[in-house]
A and B are shown apart, each in its own frame.
Chain A
Amino acid sequence: MNALTEKSNAKIILDNLRISFGDTEVVKGVSFAVAPGECFGIVGESGSGKSTILRALVGLNQAWSGSMIIGGEAQLPVRQKRFYRRVQMVFQDPYGSLHPRQTIDRILSEPLIVHGFLNIEKRIKDALSEVGLPQAVRFRFPHQLSGGQRQRVAIARALISEPEILLLDEPTSALDVSVQAEILNLLTDLRERRKLTYILVSHNLAVVTHLCTRIGVMIGGEMVELLSADDLRSGHVVHPHTAELRSLSLSLEEPD
């Protein structure tokens, strides 16, 4: 089914993941694997279950069944603190992912304090410059920053504890198009520089194919197709839903 033959090298392996909210099954037996350093994308419309998978991967949702192996370790629903040194997440809404009553400095120092890092001052300064923010924003509050700046802070916060895996839940959906381009470039650079593994969730096919090499397509809680970004671009698709999403993206989102 997927092109990864050496599963033992995979960073993340999901097998038959099932998640239910009450009586409704929201994720129905999803399986995929992500290689180290790869960017894996999950596309689907709202209600397809893609964000739910991310939340289960990161331990925010604990009512799942199936097998989840991350970084070679089988995972239980409740995660240990050291898990969060390896895996982090960036949320969709820049207006809701930063604590409204804390300065950026405080927000960035929290993961460092919890994990017992030293040199907090220097790490914060480095984190800000790494995501392209001026030092001047350090002691501002989130409401004083623009949407793009807040998202950069969210990325800085995710990376400040030096994880290997970054989960991105629609990181640019709430941003203006010009800001989106900057954030996508930033994410590309960071992945190369730090050798990170990404899982990116989005409803925007163009964004996902831009950043990711392999893509899983979801509808109604099932992953109906796994294909490479090149195949999706060129139209070598198998499942009708994938074809529909692709043709919609081409007809609605392309300028020509």
Chain B
Amino acid sequence: MLVDIKNLHITFATNSGNVDAVRGVSLSLDKEKFGIVGESGSGKSLTARCLMNLLPASAQCRADTLAFDGIDLRNASEKKMRQIRGKRVGFILQDPKYSLNPVMPIGKQVAEAWHTHKGGSKKQAMEAAIDLLDQVRIRDPHKVAQRYAHEVSGGMGQRVMIAMMLAPDPELMIADEPTSALDATVQAEILRLLDDLVSSRGMGLILISHDLPLVSKFCDRVAVMYAGRIVETLQAGDLLNAQHPYTRGLLECLPSLKHPRARLPVLVRDEAWKTS
């Protein structure tokens, strides 16, 4: 099992008491593409960050099982986490503007990512960086390597992020809303790129998003989260057979090109979903 999480709870200590952000989430995946979908506040990002021990200090995390490739991550030391984080698990965030170093040329950043985990000379690192930029389908890698983060488009920045994360040849990639800030045309390309890379390298992928139809088209399985719990897990392409009223409600309230309606059905939240 590449990732195994059982009964995960994440609690935040705030001024007005404790907030249970994640309440008993269990999921496991091997070398497949797994999507986690939910609205804001559902706890989907927290779940993934907990795996990498990237939670803020005010968060407390406890679980029956929290393992990556058999390694127990629950009370792992920072040293152990550093062996895993970045090296064996890559993390792609939503906005490349905030994840890329603004004062370093792109090529140098990718080379540094490669060098940190693989060693070797600077020349080797730069050659590897160009090769990685080519793998993420950047058309003119030598030119782009000399540019800075603010000089490239959002889509290209995301490709650079992916290249950096691929440098150490990780086994798992976690992508947190990787295409939400991008146009539809670029979105499709980036997701297709991720799809190809993950398949060709035999990696696992956790894709986190608020966009249910999109995720179900790119992943093998999808978990739908609501109020800190997984309410349903679906096979991809099986969206229309969703059982849980929340999932059905989410799908139905989407405006559709194919099925126009004068008024959109509104999702009526049932308190029972928080405990079911």
Contact = CB atoms under 8 A, between A and B. Distances in A.
Direct contact of A and B (CB under 8 A): yes
Interface of A: 45-46, 147, 176-178, 180-182, 184-185, 188, 203-207, 209-210, 229, 232-233, 244-246, 248-256
A186 to B, nearest CB: 10
Nearest to B218: A252
A210 B264 contact: yes
Q: Which 8 pairs show the lowest CB-CB distances between chains A and B?
A: A181-B253, A210-B255, A178-B267, A45-B183, A181-B264, A176-B39, A206-B255, A248-B184
Contacts of B260: 209-210, 229, 233
Interface in B236-272: 239-240, 249-251, 253-258, 260-267
25 contacts: A45-B183, A45-B184, A176-B210, A177-B210, A177-B253, A178-B249, A181-B253, A181-B266, A184-B255, A184-B264, A185-B266, A203-B183, A209-B255, A209-B260, A210-B264, A233-B260, A244-B185, A245-B184, A249-B184, A252-B188, A252-B214, A255-B213, A255-B239, A255-B240, A256-B258
A185 B265 CA distance: 9
Q: Chain A interface secondary structure, helix, strand, loop or mixed?
A: helix
What is the predominant secondary structure among interface residues of chain B facing chain A?
loop
B216 interface: yes
Contacts of B249: 178
Nearest to B217: A252
A177 B217 contact: no
Interface of B: 39-40, 154, 183-185, 187-188, 210-214, 216-217, 239-240, 249-251, 253-258, 260-267
A217 to B, nearest CB: 13
A147 B210 CA distance: 15
Contacts of A245: 184
Contacts of A253: 211, 213-214, 254, 257
Given A46-B183, A255-B212, A182 B266 contact: yes
B261 to A, nearest CB: 8
A249 B258 CA distance: 10
Contact of B240 (A204, A209, A256): A256
Given A178-B250, A185-B266, A255-B240, A206 B213 contact: no
B184 A254 contact: no
Contacts of A176: 39-40, 210
Contacts of A46: 154, 183
Nearest to A189: B263
A136 B184 CA distance: 39
A44 B81 CA distance: 43
Nearest to B253: A181
A212 to B, nearest CB: 11
Residue among A203, A206, A207, A246 with the highest chain B CB neighbour number at 10 A = A206
A205 B257 contact: yes
Contacts of A177: 39, 210, 212, 250, 253-254
Which of B39, B239, B254, B263: most chain A Cβ within 10 A?
B254
Contacts of A251: 188, 217
Given A45-B185, A176-B40, A178-B39, A254 B263 contact: no
A256 B257 CA distance: 11
Q: Max chain B CB contacts within 10 Å: which of A203, A229, A248?
A: A248
